[in-house]
Chains A and B, each alone.
Chain A
């Protein structure tokens, strides 16, 4: 793993220095006509795919500012004026605000909990020899491959028997449990790359095992923790199946449930602009996280892919 990390960084550096050499070799020999057509075609395809990626979302944002009339009469046009009251209506009347708060509470608490638990498990699995270690490791990793819907029915009854249907902590615990496999898997390989000498030195100086973990290793693991936390945030904000089984009352539903409710209601209540405003509100945290961390997300993905 250590070598993989180094490899990734090295390749990236190599890749970034390359354009200069390219420039030189390119000047010696100009591109042929056939090559130019091919380049034109491939650049064209790249631009088209970029548009396909972005247009639906730009359209959603524009539509969120329109009146219902405008939505139907000029789907491609710009809104006549920027109506922010659509967002106010979505937040209050359509109760997107309530769902937004529910989602935020559950997702933030789950991410914090799963990062703490995941790091504890991963650290122990990566740094200590003890009987049953491999069994525990594979039990966690195996959880990544099983589809959730297979567990759905029994899970519903377990949560019901614990009296946790329609509670924040019920969904938080379930989210945490289902995010553990991914978290443990990635953090275990991450902790293996960290130098153990520091923790050992700290323990020689009288630090306890737990003290070495919280004071030395956890701060050292920060880059890995951030990557995994972002993935967990995006994944759990996205989650739909688990809350569908656990959050039954409208007071506790999360944003993804709320939006589908709103979408199916819109048919007869016809407040389309509020629905689109609701979509944009729900998308906002994701866009913020992505914009802030997109390099980290893609690097995390690449490291995972090359292992």
Chain B
């Protein structure tokens, strides 16, 4: 060691760091400056206008509409997704066929594990195109199914309906996300020592009691991290929404902030304003993350 060590370190770090600084760090840093200019794509016309973009943003109804949709997603998608994932994980890794002591899980839990995770590896764009046809008024699987089981009154152009378009997209988001958290929670549950469950059973705790008093507190860390991570994903959500309803849906009923940003930047050419949208969304996210972390904080259980 010693001589040549620093030369070696420098030679290994130089290229990756250069790449990272040019394409990742510098855009983020620039974003904060650009958000305070009226830039429309020509560097000659870049004027510093302070917080004017943010003032305009505060009065921009479409922005708030999009932000509202993001907040709805932020609340609904994680709650439903994590709920389903927790339920499935409990059933397969702790359920068992014969009472609470069964830690091996139900019959075929390996099969479920493979199947449940699969939607998560399907590229989001593919899922988007696929579900666009699932919801298609004439050829779609959903309306066909409703007609077969006699619920003709429920048949509708799902994605063309201002009330149902956003819920329809939400379902796809949940479909794609459950598998990932299912695997995560299964792993977390398997890491809880068996004796804890055995002790609970011996003390006469039922399934519900065991779940709420043992399983949930034991894997609380995983749930918390998952909520935050899923929250980040929901603040973006661009890929699926752009693939399914690129114009923001009927009467902008599925417009989300990242789509609005993209529209302002690459359709209208208002780069300064678009960047301000990104910065605003990022700040909202940081506030929400801090609030969520504080609100859900519990004593960490060591085991």
Enumerate chain A interface residues (CB-CB to B < 8 A).
Answer: 7-8, 11-12, 14-16, 18-19, 21-23, 25-26, 29, 31, 35, 38-39, 42-43, 45-46, 49-50, 52-54, 56-57, 59-60, 63, 71-72, 75-76, 117-118, 120-121, 123-124, 128, 130, 136, 139-140, 143, 145-159, 173-174, 176-178, 180-181, 203, 208-210, 213, 234, 237-238, 240-241, 244-245, 256, 259-260, 263-264, 272, 275-276, 279, 282-283, 286, 289-290, 294, 297-298, 301-302, 305-306
Give the total of B residues in contact with A, Cβ under 8 Å.
106
Pick the contact of A121: B12, B91, B262 (CB < 8 A): B12
* CB-CB contacts below 8 Å: B18-71 with A: 19-20, 22-28, 30-31, 34
**With the chains together, A260 CA to B93 CA distance in Å?**
39
**Residues of chain A lying within 8 A (CB to CB) of residue B266:** 156, 245
Task: Name the contact of A42 in the complex, choosing from B11, B106, B134, B225 (C-beta under 8 A).
Answer: B106
Give the residues in chain A near B190, CB-CB below 8 Å: 11-12, 15
Within the complex, which residue of A15, A120, A177 is in contact with B24, where a contact is CB–CB below 8 Å? A177
Given contacts A39-B95, A76-B144, A153-B274, contact A57 B31 (CB under 8 A): no
Indicate whether B298 reaches chain A with its CB closer than 8 angstroms: no
* Nearest CB of A to B125, in Å: 4
- On chain B, the residues within 8 Å of A147 by CB distance are 232, 235-236, 258, 278, 281-282, 285
- What residues of chain B lie closer than 8 Å to A150, measured between beta carbons? 28, 31, 275, 278-279, 281-282
Query: Would A26 and B99 count as touching, CB distance under 8 A?
Result: yes
Closest A residue to B15 by beta carbon equals: A117
With A57-B118, A147-B236, A180-B19 as known contacts, state yes or no: A283 contacts B126, CB within 8 Å: yes
Per a CB cutoff under 8 Å, which of B98, B126, B238 touches A26? B98
Q: B residues within 8 A CB of A153?
A: 27, 31, 34, 265, 271, 274-275, 278
Q: In the complex, are the beta carbons of A282 and B116 less than 8 A apart?
A: no
Bound state CA distance, A72 and B139, in angstroms? 5
